[in-house]
Amino acid sequence: MENIWRWMLITAIAPVAWGSTYVVTATWLPADAPLWGAVWRALPAGLLLLLFVRVLPRGVWWWRSLVLGVLNIGAFFVLIYVAAQLLPSSIASMIMAMAPVAMMLVAWGVIREKPQLFSLVGAGLGFAGVIALLATGSGPINVSGVLASLAAMLMSSVGFIFTKRWSGSAPLLPMTAWQLTMGGAAIIPVAFVVEGVPAPVTASEFGAFAYLSLVATLAAFVGWNLGLRKLPAGAVGLIGLLNPVTGVLLGVAFAGETLTPLQLGGIGLVFAGILIGQAPVRAAVVRGARALLPRRRRVDGGADVVEQPRIPRRDETPALKDAA
């Protein structure tokens, strides 16, 4: 169980780091070049990790790296950009909060990992918490934006499950390096078409991009991919709900925002949903439930008899015997 908690904490690095990108982007990066921002975030991280591992893809891993890079990074970032242009951020985040259920269903079909009841309950609690955390009731709902956000959520869910399925045939760091490099490179032609030639990067922007690339991308994807190797897909998806929670809390800490009672309740629901879907908590609940239920014993004839707790007689209780 100790190892499971360790893998959970390592996996949590990713959504916490991803949640910090909102404050970093809003504070230090230009808002009119998100696609080139995605390139500067993913491609240097992939190339740096590739330089460290010094291992190129072989055989099927050339096309697998491209598929995972496009699903998890390239197309995902482009669709998130489209959704951000067409939807309020709260609505887009709520749609992304359906990712745990999507990952469970995809894992069921692709790797035969059947969803656990506790995980589904946790996903429901987490989704309700995200709604309470982000619901503002403002902003129009654009159908194209909803479709883009849904596509981004589904593509990343499929990409993460195939990352889990194929992870046994490649080491963690090289596989992550290949994904980041392929994904970052895939955004370049789209960025040229949509945003044109990239603008020069200032000193403050360079520091922000360095953080996003090294921490919110390289370290985050290493931790996330490690979690996919060590934990069930549903558990990893639930941990991903820390993303919007982190974004809101950092907004409170650095942007002077305030939390309403509804938002505090939403944070509590998210944490409850994450925890209830994890194996140690699930095992503790099952043990507690079994301890409270009456035990059964077999008697002659094969019938089950419920064995109720027996109250000892007075002469069988040491304390009462001594008193007598």
Q: Which two tokens stand for residue 256?
A: 């002077």
281 residue type, one letter: V
The arithmetic mean of pLDDT across residues 223-249, rounded, is 94
d(CA 77, CA 189) in angstroms, rounded, equals 13
Could you give the C-alpha distances from 95 to 90, 189, 277, 281, in angstroms and in order? Answer: 9, 27, 20, 27
- Mean residue pLDDT of the chain comes to 87
| Other Cβ atoms within 10 Å of 41 Cβ, number | 28
pTM recorded for the entire structure: 0.86
Supply the pLDDT for residue 38: 92
Q: Which residue has the higher pLDDT, 323 or 21?
A: 21
Residue 315 has pLDDT above 80, yes or no: no
pLDDT grade, residue 324 (50/70/90)?
very low
Between 82 and 318, residue with greater pLDDT: 82
Closest CA to 110 of 228, 285, 191: 228
Where does the pLDDT of residue 139 fall: very low under 50, low under 70, confident under 90, or very high at 90 and above? low
Mean pLDDT for 101-113 is 95
Distance in angstroms (rounded) separating the CA atoms of residues 2 and 13: 17
Question: Which has more confidence, 285 or 276?
Answer: 276
Tens-place pLDDT, residues 197-231: 999 999 999 999 999 999 999 999 999 999 999 99
Reference 153, options 210, 94, 206; nearest CA is 94
- pLDDT value, residue 323: 41
8-state DSSP, 306 = E
Sign of the torsion angle spanned by Cα atoms 47, 49, 51, 55: negative
pLDDT of residue 102: 95
Cα end-to-end span (Å), the chain: 47
pLDDT band at 322 (very low <50, low <70, confident <90, very high): very low
Query: Which pLDDT score is estimated for 320?
Result: 41
Structure tokens at 197: 């030639």
Please calculate the CA angle 307-313-318 and round it to the nearest 5 degrees: 115
- Whole-angstrom CA distances from 15 to 73, 244, 288 are 15, 8, 31
Return the pLDDT at 313: 56
At 258, list the tokens.
Answer: 């305030």
Higher pLDDT, 281 or 135: 281
Give me the pLDDT at residue 192, please: 96
Listed residue (21, 22, 38) closest to 194, CA to CA: 38
Confidence of residue 71 (pLDDT cuts 50, 70, 90): very high
At 296, the pLDDT band (50, 70, 90 cuts) reads low
User: Would you state the pLDDT for residue 301?
Assistant: 56
Question: Is residue 278 predicted with pLDDT exceeding 60?
Answer: yes
Mean pLDDT computed over 139-164: 90
For residue 311, what pLDDT is reported? 54
By three-state DSSP, how is residue 44 classified?
A: helix
Residues of the chain above pLDDT 90, percent: 62
The least confident of 45-54, 139-148, 185-194 is 139-148
pLDDT of 307: 53
